[in-house]
Amino acid sequence: MKPRVNRTESAVGLLILLSLLGICIWVYERQSRFDPSVLVVTAPQQAVPERPASAPTIESPFQSLISERLSPLGAPEQFGAETLSEKINGKAELYLSSGFVSLQCQRFAKGEGGRAWLEIFVYEMGDSSGAFSVFSSQRRAEGEEVDLTRFAYRTANALFLAHGKDYVEIVGSEEALIEEILAIGKRFVDARPLAGGETGELGVFPPDGLDPASITLLSANVFGYEKLDDTYTAMYTSGKSKLMAFVSRRESSDEAANMAAAYERFLLDNGGSLIESRLNIPGVRVIQLFDMVEIFFNKGERLAGVHEADDRDAAEDLAMMLYGSLP
Amino acid sequence: MRSAKAGAAVALAGGVSAWLFDPEGPRAPSASESDLVTLPDFSVSGLDRKLSIIQGADRVKSLDVALKALGGIEAFVKRGDRVLVKVNAAFATPAILSATTNPDLLAEVCRRCLKAGAASVVVTDNPINDPESCFSLTGLREAAHSAGARVILPRAGFFRPTTVAGGSLIKDWPLLHTPFQGVTRLISIAPVKDHNRSGASMIMKNWYGLLGGRRNIFHQDIHNTIKELAMMVKPTLVILDGTTTMMTNGPTGGSLSDLKATNTLIVSADQVAADAVGATLLGKTVSDLPFILKAVEAGVGTADVESLRPVRASAV
């Protein structure tokens, strides 16, 4: 005998079937929706495709510098002018304006686990002036001079040096690595003897009152004047006064004279006023700029002077010394 | 007969399921899709003028005081919210150099969001250096995982073009968009840093990490770019970490001597106000950093910090 199905049972059955259909549609719709918090995290180790994966077999340019206690934490990297910002982002312009050619860098770990590691950066600049420029403009005031090159200092976790046309940074993840870092720096310098004669402009600053560690090469937009470039600055102490002297070697004596005239116009256009000189220096300009005085002159191929001095008497003394020291 | 019908129904259901089953799952949206995208407004209505400035050397304690002053993380993150934390993982440098978001602070923020009932917390950034190295060597990956959050590394397919409404620079430009799918709350955590081009890298500059492509061209007009980045994103909450400030040689730093203990944590719903406070830690004013005033003019927020009646407290 055929069992009878009443209406209630049919309705319940239909309801169940419709529910199942609804669940099927929901599952189908959900599985086609991309959920990064599920799908990506299952494969977090994947590299970004458009960035070249570094092959571990690439020979390290730093192999001869590192001790057996260190092992590569990654492949060596190289960057040119077009790609430098991919490594140092907003600081790239500082290097590019100083004649940057290339950067080689690599990380090395010490011991197991990779907790202690260091990174070597070798910036090849166009010449020794470029290397000195980026070295000096980033010099840390608390840095302690290191007897590796004429321009080298260390901080608690890092070593910075300019050597020929190379500017080198070796940065550690912890202070305990500093001896390892210094050893790498020494091997780097020892492996690259220099012929001498680099950054010859440094010798033109008179020694009395000079802070030798303060000498800096500004490559572009010096003192806010976009036409003035390649200018060495140095800090002096005279009594209680702190003064900044500057020297910029131009292509010729005519160009030095033109630059002096152009710099004068720049200062006058920006609120300065020419005042009478008390100095026995041919063509010297003394410009009052708010509460400060700017003294400058051209001698041979050089534009030189004292920048934004609070103490006019001390500035005039320094300007005279500087004039006397220039060839 | 009934058994046969039931069997047929099961077979039919199985067959249809097998036919519909996609073993590979859906793919991330293709970068070739040309539709412009924009980020939704993640701010919480009525809480947009909150600001706390907390003194202290311990980030976790400072965060605790800062959030309590603003009504707790629960005021910003509700049960079921899906939170995205935008960190600064720009460089593959150790945490002690403070060039990136502090991992302890990240972990604490993630933990608090999950404790408040967030359904998920994801952490992301499109770093300058290779993402894998950045998240590993900064300690951010480990910090996120330890707190129960997930890290999403950028991939080519995750970017979609965006145009900032009212902007003139960020047009049809790749935006790290896929990690935002389903997200209901956005928190930014960034350190206070000197920056060679912009003068400072803080919260507004941190959105730079949402851009893809050859974004370094934006450094040519950095202040207007930062303004447009701020116009592009309306966060729920921003956490500006000035516990240690990179005073010089930013944004990379490299030496511990570039850092100064400034012992300040700034938590706000107003990203402009947060940066205005952060500027003071660098010894600067808002007039030294044109992007702040530009953001004010664009209506992103206020640089008049006192108008927000900030809560100032100590976590010592």
Interchain CB distance below 8 Å, B93 and A35? no
Tell me chain A's radius of gyration from C-alpha atoms.
32
The residue behind tokens 């300040």 is B264
Q: Which amino acid is at A279?
A: L
- B122 close to A (CB below 8 A): yes
By CA distance, what is A94's nearest residue in B? B196
Partners of A78 in the beta sheet? A104
Evaluate whether A101 touches A128 at the Cβ level (below 8 Å): no
Smallest Cβ–Cβ distance between B122 and the set A37, A85, A138 belongs to: A37
Interchain CB distance below 8 Å, A160 and B252? no
C-alpha A215/C-alpha A307 separation (Å) is: 14
Mean pLDDT of A226-242: 93
**Predicted-complex ipTM score:** 0.82
At A137-160, the pLDDT tens digits run 999 989 999 999 989 999 999 999
* Domains of chain A and any CATH numbers: 70-190 (3.40.1000.70), 201-325 (3.40.1000)
Evaluate whether A293 touches A315 at the Cβ level (below 8 Å): yes
Give, in order, the Cα–Cα distances in Å from A74 to each of A55, A62, A187, B134, B206: 9, 12, 21, 12, 26
Interchain CB distance below 8 Å, A39 and B26? yes
Partners of A110 in the beta sheet? A70, A116
3-state secondary structure of A235: strand
Smallest Cβ–Cβ distance between B26 and the set A34, A142, A173 belongs to: A34
Residue-level pLDDT, tens digit, chain B, 316 residues: 666 666 676 677 667 667 777 665 665 554 444 589 999 999 999 998 999 999 999 999 999 999 999 999 999 999 999 999 999 999 999 999 999 999 999 999 999 999 999 999 999 999 998 999 999 999 999 999 999 999 999 999 999 999 999 999 999 999 999 999 999 999 999 999 999 999 999 999 999 999 999 998 898 899 999 999 999 999 999 999 999 999 999 999 999 999 999 999 999 999 999 999 999 999 999 999 999 999 999 999 999 999 999 999 999 8
- B131 close to A (CB below 8 A): yes
**pLDDT the model gives residue A203:** 76
Evaluate whether B193 touches B202 at the Cβ level (below 8 Å): yes
Interchain CB distance below 8 Å, B219 and A31? no
From chain B residues 146-165, the ones with a CB under 8 A of any chain A CB are: 150-156, 158
Give, in order, the Cα–Cα distances in Å from A79 to each of A163, B31, B80: 19, 26, 45
3-state secondary structure of B94: coil
**pLDDT the model gives residue A40:** 41
Min Cα separation B208/chain A (Å): 11
Q: Which amino acid is at A66?
A: I
C-alpha A194/C-alpha A304 separation (Å) is: 29
Inter-chain Cβ pairs, chain A and chain B, closer than 8 A = 142
pLDDT at A51 over 80: no
C-alpha B211/C-alpha B159 separation (Å) is: 8
Instruction: Identify which of B96, B113, B209, B229 has the alpha carbon closest to the alpha carbon of residue B153.
Output: B209
Interchain CB distance below 8 Å, A46 and B91? no
Give, in order, the Cα–Cα distances in Å from A4 to each of A9, A11, A316, B5: 10, 14, 118, 17
Q: Residues 6 or more apart from B299 whose CB is under 8 A from it?
A: none
C-alpha B152/C-alpha B132 separation (Å) is: 10
Q: Where in chain B are the domains?
A: 28-314
Tokens representing residue B262 in the block: 């400034």
Which residues from chain B sit within 8 angstroms of residue A28, using beta carbons? 20
Interchain CB distance below 8 Å, A49 and B156? yes
Mutate to test the interface with A, among B93, B193, B255 (most CBs of A within 10 A): B255
Interchain CB distance below 8 Å, B178 and A34? yes
Mutate to test the interface with A, among B100, B145, B197, B257 (most CBs of A within 10 A): B257
**pLDDT the model gives residue B14:** 67
- Bridge pairing between strands B120-124 and B82-87: parallel
Q: How confident is the model at residue A3 (pLDDT cuts 50, 70, 90)?
A: low
Evaluate whether B204 touches B290 at the Cβ level (below 8 Å): no
* Domain range B28-314, its CATH number among 2.60.40, 3.40.50, 3.30.450, 3.30.460: 3.40.50
Evaluate whether A36 touches B122 at the Cβ level (below 8 Å): yes
- B119 close to A (CB below 8 A): no
Instruction: Identify which of A129, A151, A166 has the alpha carbon closest to the alpha carbon of residue A247.
Output: A129
- B181 close to A (CB below 8 A): yes
Omega within 30 of 0 (cis) for the link into B290: no
Crossing angle (nearest 10°) for helices B290-297 and B222-232: 40
**pLDDT the model gives residue A52:** 41
Which residues from chain B sit within 8 angstroms of residue A107, using beta carbons? 92, 133, 137
Interchain CB distance below 8 Å, B94 and A173? yes
- Tell which wins on pLDDT, B6 or A229: A229
Interchain CB distance below 8 Å, B182 and A35? yes
Smallest Cβ–Cβ distance between B152 and the set A36, A157, A175 belongs to: A36
C-alpha A297/C-alpha B119 separation (Å) is: 70
Dihedral angle over CA of B19, B23, B28, B34, nearest 10: -30
- B120 close to A (CB below 8 A): yes
